[in-house]
Each structure stands twice: as structure tokens, then as C-alpha cells.
Chains A and B, each alone.
Chain A
């Protein structure tokens, strides 16, 4: 069974860069798209972007200027960088696998990232 685990700092200073990594176990990153989704506490879901194992990416238009997603197939993991963060970027950040049939079918448990000085 594929499992995903997010890791990274829980607190980021405003204007700095948020960096998270998602470690994939029980399966390979090869052959799938891998995505990042965030959810402000008590709010809805927002897609950030995703990456194919080859490195091809697609990002949310609203975040595109600040987002970079990368993949390391040798470590079976992928990463998110979000620059110039503000309090509005405070959220639970989830990593997930995009199913061949559509939709994110495997998710990490999520990690809360707070942006505060």
C-alpha cells in the first residue's frame, strides 16, 4: 500500500520560503503525477501543483509565480517550495498521488505550516 509522509518546518517567517518534502513508501514515484494541496484551518482545499516522475510540472495559476515542485526519483520523494510567504499561506499542506483514473487517490496525513514572525 502506497504511503506518503510530509516533512518540513511547522513555522516559517513572513517573506521567507516554505519548503516541504513528501516521502513515498510502498510504491515508486515512477509512472505517476504527485501533487501538493493545502487547506486553511476549517476551510476548503486548494490545489498548489503537481509533478510527473519525469519532472514535468503544472501549477495553480494563482500560485505559479511563487511555487516550485521537484522530484528526486533516487530517493522516491518530491518537494514543494513556496516563496515570499505571508500569513495567508498558513495552512495544512498535503502531498498526494494523482490516480491514473483521475483524482488524488493516496494522501499524506498533512502537516500544518504556520507563517508568523
Chain B
């Protein structure tokens, strides 16, 4: 099973700052097969990035994804109040697994 390790567990930032979230895989994953979701309390996850770097429909350009091999990053530039949430990475190169999530909270 491919294990995805997300870090940090919690990121405390102020609106307007930049968030950098890491997702490390236990084995090499083709970047095509990396996805990111945002989840807010009481809501299902929302697809924000697919193919490691392509924004899903309606996702603002302050969200960007990058990475290759075993290391992938979600970057949120100029945090808006609505961006404070939990973010999960997911891979589907070998079965489907999710990372444990990173909580982005208001400092």
C-alpha cells in the first residue's frame, strides 16, 4: 500500500500569508495520479487539484500544486478567510490512498 504522509499536521497562518503543504509518498507516484482536496467542517471534501498541478473547475489561481516522484506540494498564495480548512492529498497510482491531512488554521 502506498502511504502518503502529510506535513505539517497543522499550519497556523494569518490571512494574506502563503501556505505550503507537503505530501510525501512511500514510493514513486506518477504525478498524473496525485490529487488534492479541501474539506471544511460538516462538508464533504472538494476536489481542488488533479494531475498534481491542474486546478479543478472554479478553483482560484492562488491555489497551485507541484512535485514529482515522492514529494508533492500544495501552495496557497495570499490566504483568504475561506481557505482555512483541512487539506488532503490522494494517490491513485497504486490502488487509492489518502494522506492524513493538514489543517490550515487562523493564527
Chain A residues with CB under 8 Å of chain B are 44-47, 58, 60-62, 94, 96, 99, 101-105, 107-110
Which 5 residue pairs spanning A and B have beta carbons closest together? A107-B44, A103-B35, A47-B96, A45-B98, A102-B50
A102 to B55 Cα, complex, angstroms: 12
Residues of A with C-beta under 8 A to B96: 47, 60
A37 CB to closest chain B CB (Å) equals: 8
Given contacts A61-B1, A61-B95, A103-B37, whether A45 and B45 have CB atoms under 8 Å apart is yes
B85 close to chain A: CB less than 8 A: no
Instruction: Give B54-93 as 1s and 0s: 1 = Cβ < 8 Å from A's Cβ atoms.
Output: 1011000000000000000000000000000000101010
Q: Are A44 and B92 closer than 8 Å at their CB atoms?
A: no
B28 close to chain A: CB less than 8 A: no
B24 CB to closest chain A CB (Å) equals: 15
A62 to B2 Cα, complex, angstroms: 13
B47 close to chain A: CB less than 8 A: yes
A83 CB to closest chain B CB (Å) equals: 20
Q: Which of A45, A104, A105 has the most CB of B within 10 A?
A: A45
Q: Are A104 and B47 closer than 8 Å at their CB atoms?
A: yes
Give 30 CB contacts A-B under 8 Å: A44-B100, A44-B101, A45-B45, A45-B88, A45-B90, A45-B101, A47-B95, A47-B96, A61-B1, A61-B95, A62-B1, A94-B44, A96-B44, A99-B50, A101-B50, A102-B35, A102-B51, A103-B35, A103-B47, A103-B50, A103-B56, A103-B90, A104-B37, A104-B45, A105-B47, A105-B56, A107-B44, A107-B45, A107-B46, A109-B44
Closest to B32 in A: A102
A99 to B97 Cα, complex, angstroms: 16
Q: Which of A96, A103, A108 has the most CB of B within 10 A?
A: A103
A96 to B63 Cα, complex, angstroms: 23
A99 to B90 Cα, complex, angstroms: 14
